[in-house]
Amino acid sequence: MLSGSDGRASPALRFGLAGGEYDAGRPSYPPAAVAWAVGAGRPRVVDVGAGTGKLTRALLESGAEVVAVEPDPTMRSRCTESLPGVPVRAGTAESLPLPDRSVDVVAVGHAYHWFDRTAALREFARVLRPAGRLVLMWNLRTELHGWEAEFTRLIAGQDSVRRNPLSGMGEIGPPFSPFEEKDVPHTQQLTPDQLVALAASRSHVIGLPPAERADVLRGVRAVARSAARDGTVTLHYVTRCWRSCVAPP
């Protein structure tokens, strides 16, 4: 559903309101993480909740054949523009526009916590080929420096601080095997403008009243300017990866 009862975009589908900022600020996924999660060869992968194509691009660079599925029309349009030639389809995790047993890997980057997991896992099992793989990936800031913790404080809000979006991420049952998990560290170099874009792409910040949003972004810019060295800041991440295989029938 694109909007709630008050007419505002629902949290899961409000990212299209900041699609440009999402593209400019969000990190990609390191090749080592993709290789471990997806495996070798040229698998056919569906990127579910693809957004502007951050994970889609990393999957393509690994050699995979990729189809992207995204419910938000603005994000789909940006994905199509940035990745010409890649099939980008309207759909949700709970209702994938794919035939039965048509993909080797279902990949999800930063979107799994928005899904109805029971319905989504049923769909993933339907579209996966025998011994196919489910892959979840999430970029977590490790806050190695004080200014990174201050950045998190500015953009999180009290609700986000209390909610753990990774809660239950590693829980799964038949027909899937237990998840294996791996962390891959990486960094992202950003200009102050790009750090502001990253902040502006966060669901909590997008949903703020305009005056509060402007205050948050001013604070982020001030932090970025004070922390910048040679015009950039370095954000430290770990990409947390889960992989599971669907049991053959």
Mean pLDDT of the chain: 85
- Indicate whether this model's pTM tops 0.85: no
Backbone angles phi, psi at 241, to 5 degrees: -120, 140
For residue 41, is it within any domain?
yes
Angstrom distance (rounded) from CA 43 to CA 103: 8
DSSP letter assigned to residue 193: H
Span 185-222, pLDDT tens digits: 999 899 999 999 888 878 778 888 999 989 999 999 99
Residue 25 has pLDDT above 90, yes or no: no
The per-residue DSSP string of 64-105 comes to -EEEEE-S-HHHHHHHHHHSTTS-EE--BTTB-SS-TT-EEE
Q: Number of structural domains, the chain?
A: 1
Span 75-90, pLDDT tens digits: 899 899 999 999 999 9
Q: Which domain holds residue 151?
A: 11-245
Residue 15 has pLDDT above 60, yes or no: no
Highest mean pLDDT among 5-14, 20-29, 144-153: 144-153
Tokens 């056919």 found at: 44
CATH number for the domain that contains residue 99:
3.40.50.150
Instruction: Of 97, 69, 65, 75, give the one whose Cα is nearest residue 23.
Output: 75
Read off the pLDDT band of 161 (50, 70, 90): very low
**How many other CB atoms are there within 10 angstroms of residue 125's CB atom?**
18
